[in-house]
Amino acid sequence: MEDLSHFCCQNTGCSMYGVRNSNTLTVSKIYGKSKDIRLLRCSICKARFSERRGTPYFNSRMPKAEVTAILHHLQEGNGIRRTASLHIS
């Protein structure tokens, strides 16, 4: 069984919204170009949402490694232009 304890329901109308480690989520489907993104389903409100929802990776067309590299550059205090030039090279 997959560890979903660090995820929570993303439906603001659900009674379990924001509650982690509640055992109310299941994997409904796996999707994406590499088949590595899980679609989660809340057993309380029946809502479905991506495991990437609410993160910088959500709806990103770039590979996860590239997004992570960009975030690290920004975290180190590099500006947007400097991060772009580091990312290109």
Any residues with CB less than 8 A from the CB of 87 and at least 6 apart, and which? Answer: 66, 69, 70, 73
pLDDT on residue 28: 93
Across the range 29-41, mean pLDDT stands at: 90
What average pLDDT does the segment 27-51 reach?
Answer: 92
pTM of the model: 0.74
Tell me the pLDDT of the chain averaged across its residues: 87
Mean pLDDT of 61-84: 85
pLDDT of 87 reads: 63
Can you give the pLDDT at residue 88? Answer: 60
Distance between CA 47 and CA 63 in Å, rounded?
26
Q: Is the pLDDT of residue 89 over 80?
A: no
Dihedral over alpha carbons 42, 20, 40, 66 (to 10 degrees): 160
Q: CA-to-CA distance for 62 and 52, rounded, in angstroms? A: 13
- Find, among 27, 26, 23, 22, the residue nearest to 38 by Cα: 27
Q: What percent of the chain has pLDDT over 70?
A: 96
Query: Residue 19 is encoded by which pair of tokens?
Result: 């509650």
Predicted confidence band of residue 56 (pLDDT cuts 50, 70, 90) = confident
